[in-house]
Structure 1
Amino acid sequence: MSSFPRVVVYGASGHALACRDMLENGFAPHRVCEVIAYMKDGAEEGASVDGLPLISFEDWQARYAREIPCIVSIAAPTPRKRLVQKVVDAGGFFIPFYDRPEVAFRKVKVGEGSGIALPVFIGQNSRIGAHVLVSPMCSIGHDVTIGDYCSLAPSVTISGNVVVKEGVFLGAGSVVVNGKADKPLIIGEGCNISAGAVVTKSVPDGETMIGNPAITLDEFSRTRRYLRDVVPEEDEE
């Protein structure tokens, strides 16, 4: 029997397959678990994905809920939170994968149900919450707190002394500049940071930020209206 904890991945898309690779091979040679099945609502009996059984939620509940932990592979934070609660309500559970000495980051705490793909840098004294998905090539600085259910797409950079609240999505290549020890830069709950955006100041809850430096969608719309009204169009030849 494998010495690694066994786990069921909730999801069966390409992202779910990537999560399996992340968990089994991302810390090579220090894998963090063994995926034994994928789970999908309404899956047909006898189906398979990527060489593993694809089981329905009902089948998982009957066979594995109280014995095998889950990880929810859905990329978007809000539906991931909903499915985590569905698993808990059905008697399922989650575990931390990065608390063993051979896979732990130095002076970093990672919550249950979170997945982190190498190569990733995480600075000292940082905390990654529960059910967070961190894609490859991300850099997370020192003294950073990332709340539960956040998603970091590939190549996200978060500098030191930053607080990312619950349910934030950071798009590919986005950058969050550093805060201060006594005044961290804060990204509010449920924010969406678009791909390539550069966040230079704290962001209120629920905002979508775009551009460099990053501005809200409302600010972007006002700027476009201003330019349309005051900048004359070139004369047509």
Structure 2
Amino acid sequence: MMGLLSFGENGWGTLILSATLTTLLLSLAALAVGAVVGGAVAAAKLSPHAPVRWFGAAYSVVFRGIPELLVIYLFYFGGSGLISWIGHLFGADGFIEVPPFLIGALAIGLISASYQGEVYRAARLALASGEVEAAVAIGMPRWRICSRIMLPQIVRYALPGLSNVWQMSLKDSALVSVTGIAELMRASQIAAGSTREYFLFYLIGGSCYLILTLLSNRAFIRAETRLNRAWQRRSAAQA
């Protein structure tokens, strides 16, 4: 077993380690995409204009109602076909394949955005309206209200929910293995199929996911504790 897990020429340790890093980077990229799009979805669902609210609601329903694997298939194979068709219109030949990492991050990110949008919307509704009204009354610019009053509190209220969304994105990254990218699930499959040690390498893959989950949970807890302490000090200073 130690020989199979070594980092030498005949071991699989290097592949597993690099695949774990790829999984982490893929999940972080998806979380960033989801944060941008999810913020826009939350703003749309809070808009006073009905068509904009309908668009935000439709986005949430579509991306939470369609299976994640189907979304990845649609973006990877459908996206490659669409780009190839557009390329043919401009004289390109052959099939144009889109980068698996880019498609995986985009697909998981858009799925994550449908959940992050709800987290941000709930966090915005949790804000005390009196603070924003007081800032408007004293003539504070809109951008300063957002950066100094709304955004810090939204992040504070949204952080526990974002922790759950992050765990979901981390596990959804395993679905990107269907595109051929060497993330943790794909690496476990390759190692298990090559050595016939299925139990060993799938157990290692699961352990790596569990380690990432435990470490990220710890990071979110520390961030939440720091934000709460900073808010308590701010409240005490204002009092």
- The verdict on a shared fold, with TM-score over 0.5 as the criterion, is no
Q: Which has the higher contact order (CA 8 A, sep 6+)?
A: 2
Higher radius of gyration, 1 or 2: 2
Q: Which has the higher strand share?
A: 1
Which band: TM-score by shorter chain?
under 0.3
Q: Which has the higher helix share?
A: 2
